[in-house]
Amino acid sequence: MKPHLPAALHRGLEEKRLVVLAGSGISRLSPSYVPIWSAYNNSLFTALRACAEELPGIATEARAAIAALPLPDTKIFSDLIARLMAGEGYFPILNVLEGREPNSNHLALAELARKGVLRAIVTTNFDTLIERAFRREGVPLVELVRSADYEQLRADGLCVLAKIHGSIGQPETFVDTASQKLKGLPRFVRARLAELYRGNHVLVVGFSGEDLDFGEDYLAFAESGGYPEITWARHPGSELAPAAARFLAKSGGVSIELDASSLFGLLGVAPAALDPADRAPQDAVQEEVARAARDFFHRPYLGPLYCSSFCASLLSRAGMTSEARSVYSALRAYVESLGDRLPKTAAPALRRLAIAARDDEELDIAEFWARREIAFWQAALASVRIPPGDPSFDLNLALAEGRRGLAAAWSVLGRIHLDQMELEPQKIEDARSAFQEADQLARANGNATLLAITTFNDAILARAEREPPDDVIDLFRKSAELAASDGAAEVASEALLHQSLEMIGLAEYDLPWLHLDRASGYAKLAGNLDLSVRISDARERIKELRTPPPVGSVHSPQLRVHGEERLRRNIALFEMAGFRQPITDTFSELCWQAWKRKSPWRSLDLAYALFFAAKRDDYEPCIIEAMNCSGAARFLAGDREGAAKDFESLLSREMVPEPVRELVERNLEAAKSGRSEPETFRFGSDETNELIAFIQKMTNAAESLDERGQTEQALNTLVDTAGFVREVTEKRVDTSRGLLAALLDYRLRSKSLLS
């Protein structure tokens, strides 16, 4: 056995079944000198700020604010540029990441393939250094870059190179932004990776693992149902990304501390040192990157106006409010100086000015800028023509861009109108009209992110019109799903946050906590600090609602109530007082009611709520009920595969009564065949239902007494009620008093009583 090598890696080497996952770390040596990712992003950012500072008439204060702007997280910076600035025009600049010449690491891979040890290479690198090393050494290589490559016939015996993030010279294949990675790798790529991993030992080299932030199985290691053997080599003194460390612990892989060159030496492939004359100075390479970045930001579709708008947005996202205002002031002065002669690059400036004014609650000014952007895009769409003698011009792409911009502008205006409703209730009609305009454009465009935004608009409009909370929650859910499917992290995060807040308002706390975890992850990827703070506030609200109030205080949650008002209020009271069993049984009733309404998604939400409550209550019957309800809800929602998994999981439990087991078996068959609808059942506690009915009866009586001015009798009624609850639930006196305080605040609003 070779020294320092894990036994599993040694076996893979001896049995000639090695797959290498190679990251950018293998391409940094001389004479390749591929720029370090952080240095590349820093060059882009420096050029961006310098271009922004060229805005005509920009004040010293605004220039200083731009200079003080910190570099965003490198995982999200390219996404921000692509989404907010250049769109698909961003990707060609990635060509600067091509290396000069293959280095010893690339040649070592070619030598391993020549020996028949290396079956495949999976790489996230854009550069073509591996391919060039194989060609130089005369070693055959099958390259997988485009979809057709992955679907081609297998080339047995030849080493395969899977470039899962695309390749230099083919910018349409690049996968670089957070939005792209959030979608996950395409199905055809994942399927082929699973084939490459199966039965082989995977050696990870020069890869930090940060891509696993976009999904635990982003690299499809578990695609075939289990993990391959994995050895992860990390550079001496470095640490794996947290997501990679968690993955390695879960998969049973091994981490070793070795640089790539030393590792390849232990594998028996140490190519001769390359001629120093072939080496390119690192500073010359870096200057090439800086020059390309400067040229990129001075292209006609970018420039100082676009870049300063982008910097203002970054300042707002970073929570640097006063600095952002100084840049907005410079933008406003410059745009006003242009009059009606606005260049194409003015669109983001107009939107940022509208959003900034809305944030400052200057709603009339916000409306002015939003309407100006709408007029801008309407004029742009009306003037789209194919330029004479330009066969490369894509008319459909230009129209799609215009519709995207116009839909977003209508959405901004609609939200401004909703804010204006507080003083002008009739503005809701203007909001509805603006949202309808946005929706028509989004549907014509077929863009998932736009549809997510317009669905979010529908949700906030429905909430403003006090539509049933279940309907509002379903709209926020749909918005989050659409946004996530298109990698729109910020929209997904916002929708999940609002969905969670609606559910918290209905005294559902467990599932929103999980939604807020997802929302937090998306907010970090979007680089939106304000959104992260609001998510943290929502978590604190849940903690507060589950904390008994001090004895004698009056404290209660504010609920959005509808037809289930009493049940929801009871749950909120029981949560605050710490009474577990009544919560479980009340959610059982709510779950049953949602099922009878044939509301699949809300039935699924309530099944989760019942499951978590029953787990805390350690009440197996309602755990069983929740799992069955979950499967039935998934069936109604059209997810028969998910329904079958829920029923199978339930049947694997030991404590399922025989009659229930027979019912679940019928449900499983229904899920597989689709020929009939699943059945549900209830295990609700009669004792708890009687307790709830008693509390409702006594609080109604107390309220009636208080309305007749009999305050003392009302108070005595509630004291007796709290005492009875204490005896039944065997809780501490102070907890019972906490319940009393909450009941007082809910049911008795009389100033004389509360005084």
Per-residue pLDDT, 279: 47
Number of C-beta neighbours around residue 54 at 10 A: 15
Instruction: Determine the average pLDDT of the residues in 208-228.
Output: 86
Residue 618 pLDDT > 80, yes or no?
Answer: yes
Is-cis flag, bond preceding 31, omega within 30?
yes
Average pLDDT over residues 408-436: 93
Mean predicted confidence (pLDDT) in 566-592: 83
pLDDT at 742 > cutoff 90: no
Tens-place pLDDT, residues 310-340: 888 888 877 788 888 888 888 999 999 988 8
pLDDT for 102 equals: 92
Report the pLDDT value the prediction gives residue 556, as an integer from 0 to 100: 47
Give me the chain's average pLDDT, please: 84
Token pair of 370, please?
């939003």
Q: DSSP character for 167?
A: B
Out of 80-84, 296-300, 490-494, least confident range = 80-84
Q: Which among 191-195, 212-216, 561-565 has the top mean pLDDT?
A: 191-195
What percentage of residues in the chain have a pLDDT greater than 70?
Answer: 87
For range 144-151, the mean pLDDT: 89
Among 115-124, 279-288, 688-697, name the one with the lowest average pLDDT. 688-697
Report which residue type is found at 528: N
The Cα 76–Cα 180 span in angstroms is 11
Taking the CB of residue 5, how many other CB atoms lie within 10 A of it? Answer: 20
For 348-361, write each residue's pLDDT tens digit.
889 989 998 998 89
Q: What pLDDT is attached to residue 88?
A: 54
User: 120-144: per-residue pLDDT in tens?
Assistant: 999 999 999 999 999 999 999 999 9
Contact 476, 458 (CB under 8 A): no
Q: In the predicted model, what is the mean pLDDT of residues 15-36?
A: 88
Query: Are 163 and 129 a contacting pair, CB within 8 Å?
Result: no
**117-131 burial, b for 16+ CB within 10 Å, e for fewer?**
bbbbbbbbbbbbbbb
Least confident range of 73-87, 344-358, 639-653: 73-87
pLDDT score, position 136: 94
Whether the per-residue pLDDT at 179 is higher than 50: the answer is yes
On whether the CB atoms of residues 610 and 591 are closer than 8 A, the answer is yes
What is the per-residue pLDDT for 732? 34
Residue 155's pLDDT band, with cuts at 50, 70 and 90, is: low
pLDDT-derived band of residue 557, with 50, 70 and 90 as boundaries? very low
Looking at per-residue pLDDT, the higher value among 90 and 341 belongs to 341
Q: pLDDT above 90 covers what percent of the chain?
A: 39
Q: Would strands 229-234 and 118-123 be described as parallel, antiparallel, or unpaired?
A: unpaired
φ/ψ of residue 150, rounded to 5? -70, -25
For 598, the token pair is 């044939």
- 10 Å Cβ neighbour count for 386? 11
pLDDT attached to residue 697: 73
